[in-house]
Chains A and B, each alone.
Chain A
Amino acid sequence: MPAERSSGMDHSHYAYSPLPARAPLFWPDKQPLAVGALVLLEHYEWEPPTDAYGLRNASGGLIKLPAPDYVQLTHREYGHRVGIFRVLDTLERYGIPATVAVDQLTAIHYPWLVEHLMERGCELIGHGVAASQVISSKVDEETELQIIRDSLDTLEKVTGLRPSGWFSPEGVESARTPELLAAAEVSYVCDWPNDEQPYKMTTPLGDLVSLPLFLEVDDEFALWHRRASLASWESMIVTAASRLHVDGRTSARHMMLTLRPWLTGQPFRIRSLDRSLSQIMQLEGIWAAQANAIVEAFRNSEFS
């Protein structure tokens, strides 16, 4: 439905909330800035189901080639084989506990990797079935419910833990997604990069928290689509963190980096992540945290 000209948002998922008008938010120990990393393990199928919807402008590869596009598919698979370890090592070096979005086909096809993530203490969150099966208004409600259920059930089966968070494949939703996630008892969703603090979402089927990612420093957004230089990416991360660290003294902020192992995990890029983190982690009072801890602190702060 096109917007109606009345006060507030043109959808019912959350209320408009200008940041300066909010009650101040505080993290544990009054730390001004929470820093977290969402690492994406996205499986691209060689032969997606014929009725699946995939992004036309999916990243990776060289040019759009006729299927099977070996270049794109293997470029992306580099992340699962090599890049992930570099990214996790780098995050660990700076004491940032990773949150990893794992789709269902990754969980099925890479059992060793999932176990490895669990051993390293990563938080795993739901990420749909596959990057080649995007949830959007092109899928009907039943299919969407199935994707959400399959994704969460498989992760629970493989790890023994029910994921509390969600990031939709390619960050695409239908207009139903927030309420279906709430109905599936998902605690938080990362699809809405519109804020520097978590906020509450309200749906007819329950409430959840939106934990916005920092889109502008998302590696795909900055390095692949915008083609920013690595120097520029580093400078964005460091400048943004420094400013959020200042603003966070009045009301705490969070900064969720979105990292794709096939992209940031390349040997020439990993050094940029390393340099950025080495600088921001020198700031005093950085709270390195997993997504669920940030969301929990937000819930505690909001209801205290």
Chain B
Amino acid sequence: MADRPTISWPNDAKVALWIAPNVEHYEYLPPRDALRNPWPRSPHPEVQGYSHRDYGNRVGFWRMLQVLDEHNVRCTASTNLAIFEHYPDIGKAMADRDWEIMSHGIYNTRYLSSLTEQEERAFYVDCIDTLRQHTGQDLKGMLGPAVSNTVRTPDLMAEAGLIYHADWLHDDQPIPIKVNDGPLISVPYSIELNDVPVFLQHHDTKDFVEMVKAQFDTLYEEGGTSGRVMALALHPYLMGMPHRIQGLEEILDYLLGHEDVWQATASQIAEHFIDHHYQEFVDHAEVIKGTHNAS
């Protein structure tokens, strides 16, 4: 970070802010996966966990939508694409608002981890086709379903024509990812500034609001030197709860109340980076690598 080329966002914004509600369907009776059990509390069906998430699609999504609308947010919805099939009302609400749809797989209970190369190729075709069929949008990026991946994932994403991957938590700026046939970059997401890990733990709404503000303050300060990315990861079943929604209002009032913020979608960030900074970042990485080898 200390020696990198400078990133400049449109209008000299200090922070590119993308807001990512995760719109998900967890299956009532998911297929068995040898590597991971989505519902370890009890044998399946696990109606408590299922219902908790189902609340998001019945109630929480709609309460959140009201707040997002009031703040004119254009979201990047991390979407299990079967949402468009199961809940056309939700699909329409997202499409009507021209939200960008980022793939979050098909279901949150179907993981990439155990797919063969051929199956994973077919998976991207499915994601691309499903999104195009329901919204006409071209799929640009992915957050792995329930953040699952394989070692082949970046190559296969790039091969399918996707340009960004949100599963890399290693930076505050987009970073080129080495793939056979690119470009593919990471757009920083967050598993810290994310309501799931925060509210899985004992933290309450007030703590989350403070975390978000502090994160933003630091990035906004540092963004004066070179542009930063901030992701706000939300889940309707948590943030859409009646005791949390006020927190989202506070967060959005605060973030969007700053002048030098570019409220963008993940693909806008990715495209801007690829058009203006990709090559210099690749060259810079080569220089750093050379320095290391020489020493």
Within the complex, the shortest CB–CB distance from A54 to chain B, in Å, comes to: 10
Instruction: Report the bound CA distance from A206 to B265 in whole Å.
Output: 47
Pick from B41, B202, B243: contact of A240, CB below 8 A: B243
Asked if B242 and A244 sit within 8 Å, CB to CB, the answer is: yes
Asked if A212 and B51 sit within 8 Å, CB to CB, the answer is: yes
* Chain B residues, Cβ within 8 Å of A20: 62
Interface size on B, residues (CB 8 A): 46
* Chain A residues, Cβ within 8 Å of B201: 226-227
> Which residues of chain A from 16 to 31 have any CB-CB distance to chain B below 8 Å in the complex?
16-21
Asked if A3 and B47 sit within 8 Å, CB to CB, the answer is: no
Pick from B28, B63, B106: contact of A10, CB below 8 A: B28
Instruction: Report the bound CA distance from A55 to B40 in whole Å.
Output: 10
Is A297 close to B, CB under 8 A? no
Is A232 close to B, CB under 8 A? yes
CB closest chain-A residue, reference B59: A19
Pick from A11, A244, A247: contact of B28, CB below 8 A: A11
Is A301 close to B, CB under 8 A? no
Interface segment out of the listed B79-87, B143-151, B218-226, B256-264: B79-87
Known: A17-B58, A232-B204. A247 touches B87 (CB 8 A): no
Is B44 close to A, CB under 8 A? yes
Pick from B30, B44, B62, B243: contact of A18, CB below 8 A: B62
Within the complex, the shortest CB–CB distance from B195 to chain A, in Å, comes to: 12
Proximity bits, A131-175, B CB within 8 Å = 1, else 0:
000101110000000000000000000000000000000111111
The residue in A138, A173, A239, A247 that gathers the most chain B C-beta atoms within 10 A of its C-beta is: A239
Is B43 close to A, CB under 8 A? yes
Pick from A18, A174, A229, A232: contact of B45, CB below 8 A: A174
Within the complex, the shortest CB–CB distance from A120 to chain B, in Å, comes to: 29
Is A122 close to B, CB under 8 A? no
Pick from B41, B86, B246: contact of A243, CB below 8 A: B246
Asked if A137 and B44 sit within 8 Å, CB to CB, the answer is: yes
* Chain A residues, Cβ within 8 Å of B63: 247
Within the complex, the shortest CB–CB distance from B66 to chain A, in Å, comes to: 9
Within the complex, the shortest CB–CB distance from A155 to chain B, in Å, comes to: 22
* Chain A residues, Cβ within 8 Å of B246: 239, 243
Known: A5-B82, A137-B43, A191-B48. A247 touches B242 (CB 8 A): yes
CB closest chain-A residue, reference B107: A3
> Which residues of chain B from 145 to 189 have any CB-CB distance to chain A below 8 Å in the complex?
none
Interface segment out of the listed A72-80, A97-105, A193-201: A193-201
Is B88 close to A, CB under 8 A? yes
Is A304 close to B, CB under 8 A? no
Is A50 close to B, CB under 8 A? no
Is B14 close to A, CB under 8 A? no
Is B245 close to A, CB under 8 A? yes
Instruction: Report the bound CA distance from A134 to B43 in whole Å.
Output: 10
Asked if A10 and B27 sit within 8 Å, CB to CB, the answer is: yes
Pick from B42, B51, B87, B205: contact of A134, CB below 8 A: B42
Asked if B245 and A136 sit within 8 Å, CB to CB, the answer is: no
Is B31 close to A, CB under 8 A? yes
Within the complex, the shortest CB–CB distance from A171 to chain B, in Å, comes to: 5
Asked if B27 and A3 sit within 8 Å, CB to CB, the answer is: yes
> Which residues of chain B from 187 to 233 have any CB-CB distance to chain A below 8 Å in the complex?
199-202, 204-206
Asked if A175 and B242 sit within 8 Å, CB to CB, the answer is: no
Within the complex, the shortest CB–CB distance from B116 to chain A, in Å, comes to: 18
Proximity bits, B45-71, A CB within 8 Å = 1, else 0:
111101110110111011100000000
Instruction: Report the bound CA distance from A173 to B45 in whole Å.
Output: 7
Asked if B47 and A192 sit within 8 Å, CB to CB, the answer is: yes
Is A235 close to B, CB under 8 A? yes
Within the complex, the shortest CB–CB distance from A47 to chain B, in Å, comes to: 22
Residues on A lying within 8 angstroms of B by beta carbon are: 1-3, 5-11, 16-21, 53, 55, 57, 134, 136-138, 170-175, 191-196, 212, 215-217, 226-229, 232, 235-237, 239-241, 243-244, 247
Residues on B lying within 8 angstroms of A by beta carbon are: 25, 27-31, 41-48, 50-52, 54-55, 57-59, 61-63, 82, 85-90, 106-107, 199-202, 204-206, 241-243, 245-246
Shortest 10 CB-CB contacts between residues of A and residues of B: A243-B242, A194-B51, A240-B243, A194-B54, A239-B243, A232-B204, A240-B242, A2-B31, A136-B43, A227-B202
